């Protein structure tokens, strides 16, 4: 039986757009359904606008440091609507580019919420479409806690659109999103308090780096309330009052939930078609991204494996190549670099010291703990920390972790070396590039 489309993708985010474009380039007739805006979380309300806010907020410190470099800028004033609206305009521009990409590749966009009717039929906004193959790429959304008054809080979806800058903000969580927005809003002059259920920030990251971020953040004046449990949020005339299980309370103006993200599976009709979920409530897929229903596939955050944009993009690309291009390749999930755009930022690739000890037994650890040259002249007492983890038996560098200015930019290049399996001796053989921060990577003895 001939279907309306060869491929119908649900979700026009990073994974869905890439899969659509590549499948279309292989000659497939492709449609993509999207209920919000083409571009997905990363472009519309994630990585991209967040990074622009990080740039915008960092001027606060740059302008302060400029004085020690001879620059006197007297009339310093920050205007939130200018930054907010310029970021929104850039998001609009990128949204347009993503739509152009789909149009130029002859991918049909179906605006509206999509729901599976059967294994080959999808209903979008009341209209039914059939397809030989279906790809679910609906991503994830912020988790909000199940406590009274949670609705008074906002998530990373709304934070980009704040009408005014609050005087006080509580950020619940201590992972990527919490630490990134804590840095942004503190720099913009907001009194930020980060609260978390455990005493750990950035769980899973090299503990020495997470601890360095905590120490620097405390020195900058951010507040932390760790090991605490929130019971309810009460809205009062003067703001929001947080009630903790130990009986303590605190008042704030905005609460931002940054407690992880959950797969977007609601209203997709997965039950009706029998698409199975895994124990985390995400769509279960095999190595080919295939669900338990033979012609239905899933990529990206809705499968909750590695919640990173470049991973979703590559999954979408490899899926489309395999299904429609006769190119049989799979995503390599080893040594995926990642960064936290906190202030200062972190970058990491490969194993932490603890993971390497578990895997190899004997490891050698090299660290460089230094004050970047710019910070010295600026009188800024913030130290960078780099750490290399080496498998003692083979001399291979199996992990690189950094916190300090531009750490994510530097880390991307180091990730090539770690991925390629280079040895510590090969790092040492490389001539330093002086004066840079990254030269530390080849000078650790």
Name the residues annotated as catalytic.
434
Residue with tokens 């095999």: 286
The answer to whether the CB of 251 falls within 8 A of the CB of 233 is: no
Is residue 307 a contact residue for ligand NDP (CB under 6 A)? yes
Q: Which of 259, 285, 346, 349 binds ligand NDP (CB under 6 A)?
A: 259
Nearer to ligand NDP, 10 or 311 (CB): 311
Is residue 313 a contact residue for ligand NDP (CB under 6 A)? no
Nearer to ligand NDP, 172 or 188 (CB): 172
Is residue 390 a contact residue for ligand NDP (CB under 6 A)? no
Considering the complex, what minimum distance in angstroms separates the CB of residue 290 from ligand NDP?
23
Cα 358 to chain centroid, rounded? 27
Q: Which among 237, 315, 309 has a CA at the least distance from the CA of 41?
A: 309
Is residue 177 a contact residue for ligand NDP (CB under 6 A)? yes
Instruction: For residues 248 and 229, give the distance between their C-alpha atoms in angstroms, rounded to a whole number.
Output: 10
Q: Which among 245, 198, 263 has a CA at the least distance from the CA of 10?
A: 263
Considering the complex, what minimum distance in angstroms separates the CB of residue 411 from ligand NDP?
12
The answer to whether the CB of 44 falls within 8 A of the CB of 341 is: no
Nearer to ligand NDP, 293 or 336 (CB): 336
Considering the complex, what minimum distance in angstroms separates the CB of residue 86 from ligand NDP?
21
Is residue 358 a contact residue for ligand NDP (CB under 6 A)? no
Cis peptide before 344 (omega within 30 of 0): yes
Q: At what angle do helices 80-104 and 14-25 cross, to 10 degrees?
A: 20
Q: Which stretch binds ligand NDP (CB under 6 A): 25-33, 196-204, 206-214, 286-294?
A: 196-204
Which phi and psi angles does 89 have, rounded to 5°?
-65, -35
Q: Which stretch binds ligand NDP (CB under 6 A): 14-22, 92-100, 332-340, 374-382?
A: 332-340
Q: Which among 65, 76, 57 has a CA at the least distance from the CA of 380?
A: 65
Helix (H, G, I), strand (E, B), or coil: what is residue 51?
Answer: helix
Instruction: For residues 349 and 392, give the distance between their C-alpha atoms in angstroms, rounded to a whole number.
Output: 18
Is residue 258 a contact residue for ligand NDP (CB under 6 A)? yes
In this structure, the chain runs to a length of: 445
Question: How many residues sit in the footprint of ligand NDP (CB under 6 A)?
Answer: 23
* C-alpha torsion sign, points 125, 128, 131, 134: positive
Is residue 282 a contact residue for ligand NDP (CB under 6 A)? no
Is residue 312 a contact residue for ligand NDP (CB under 6 A)? no
Instruction: For residues 319 and 305, give the distance between their C-alpha atoms in angstroms, rounded to a whole number.
Output: 16
The answer to whether the CB of 328 falls within 8 A of the CB of 322 is: yes
Is residue 417 a contact residue for ligand NDP (CB under 6 A)? no
The answer to whether the CB of 193 falls within 8 A of the CB of 225 is: yes
Is residue 176 a contact residue for ligand NDP (CB under 6 A)? yes
Q: Which of 185, 205, 341, 427 binds ligand NDP (CB under 6 A)?
A: 341
Q: Which of 200, 355, 367, 423 binds ligand NDP (CB under 6 A)?
A: 200
Q: Identify the DSSP state of 276.
A: P
Q: Which of 145, 207, 269, 325 binds ligand NDP (CB under 6 A)?
A: 145
Is residue 402 a contact residue for ligand NDP (CB under 6 A)? no
Q: Which of 340, 398, 400, 402 binds ligand NDP (CB under 6 A)?
A: 340
Other beta carbons less than 10 A from residue 428's beta carbon: 14
Instruction: For residues 69 and 193, give the distance between their C-alpha atoms in angstroms, rounded to a whole number.
Output: 32
Is residue 227 a contact residue for ligand NDP (CB under 6 A)? no
Is residue 193 a contact residue for ligand NDP (CB under 6 A)? no
Nearer to ligand NDP, 5 or 176 (CB): 176
Considering the complex, what minimum distance in angstroms separates the CB of residue 169 from ligand NDP?
15
Q: Which of 339, 356, 378, 402 binds ligand NDP (CB under 6 A)?
A: 339
Nearer to ligand NDP, 28 or 91 (CB): 91
Distance separating the N- and C-terminal Cα atoms of the chain? 67
Is residue 12 a contact residue for ligand NDP (CB under 6 A)? no
Helix (H, G, I), strand (E, B), or coil: what is residue 347?
Answer: strand
Position of minimal CB gap to ligand NDP: 175
Nearer to ligand NDP, 197 or 374 (CB): 197
Q: Which stretch binds ligand NDP (CB under 6 A): 74-82, 174-182, 208-216, 323-331?
A: 174-182
Torsion of CA 49, 52, 57, 62, to 10 degrees: 170
- Contacts to ligand NDP by CB under 6 A: 145, 173-178, 180, 196-198, 200, 203, 258-261, 307-308, 338-341
């Amino acid at each position: 039986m001939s279907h309306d489309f060869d491929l119908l993708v649900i979700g026009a985010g990073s994974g869905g757009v890439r899969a659509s474009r590549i499948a279309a380039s292989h000659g497939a007739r492709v449609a993509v359904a999207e209920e919000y805006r083409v571009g997905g979380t990363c472009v519309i309300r994630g990585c991209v606008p967040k990074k622009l806010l990080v740039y915008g907020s960092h001027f606060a410190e740059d302008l302060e440091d400029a004085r020690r470099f001879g620059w006197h800028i007297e009339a310093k004033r920050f205007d939130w609507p200018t930054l907010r609206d310029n970021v929104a305009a850039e998001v609009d521009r990128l949204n347009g580019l993503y739509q152009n990409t789909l149009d130029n590749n002859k991918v049909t966009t179906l605006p509206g919420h999509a729901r599976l009717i059967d294994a080959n039929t999808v209903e979008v906004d009341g209209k039914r479409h059939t397809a030989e193959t279906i790809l679910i790429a609906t991503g994830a959304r912020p988790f909000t806690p199940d406590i009274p008054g949670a609705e008074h809080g906002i998530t990373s979806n709304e934070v980009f659109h704040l009408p005014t800058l609050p005087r006080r903000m509580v950020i619940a969580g201590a992972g990527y999103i919490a630490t990134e927005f804590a840095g942004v809003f503190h720099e913009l002059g907001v009194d930020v308090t980060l609260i978390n259920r455990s005493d750990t920030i950035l769980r899973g990251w090299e503990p020495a780096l997470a601890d360095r971020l905590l120490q620097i953040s405390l020195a900058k004046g951010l507040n932390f309330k760790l090991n605490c449990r929130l019971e309810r949020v009460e809205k009062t005339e003067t703001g929001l009052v947080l009630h903790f299980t130990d009986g303590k309370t605190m008042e704030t103006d905005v609460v931002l939930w940054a407690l992880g993200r959950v797969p977007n599976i609601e209203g997709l009709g997965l039950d009706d078609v029998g698409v199975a979920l895994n124990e985390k409530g995400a769509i279960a897929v095999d190595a080919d991204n295939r669900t338990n229903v033979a012609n239905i596939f899933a990529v990206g955050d809705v499968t909750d494996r590695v919640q990173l944009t470049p991973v979703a993009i590559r999954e979408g690309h490899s899926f489309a190549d395999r299904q429609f291009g006769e190119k049989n390749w799979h995503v390599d999930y080893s040594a995926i670099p990642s960064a936290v755009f906190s202030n200062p930022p972190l970058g990491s690739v490969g194993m932490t010291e603890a993971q390497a000890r578990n895997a190899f037994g004997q490891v050698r650890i090299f660290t460089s703990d230094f004050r970047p040259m710019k910070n010295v002249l600026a009188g800024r007492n913030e130290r960078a920390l780099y750490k290399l983890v080496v498998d003692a038996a083979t001399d291979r560098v199996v992990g690189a972790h950094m916190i300090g200015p531009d750490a994510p930019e530097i880390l991307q290049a180091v990730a090539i070396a770690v991925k390629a399996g280079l040895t510590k001796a090969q790092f040492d053989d490389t001539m330093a590039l002086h004066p840079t921060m990254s030269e530390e990577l080849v000078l650790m003895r």
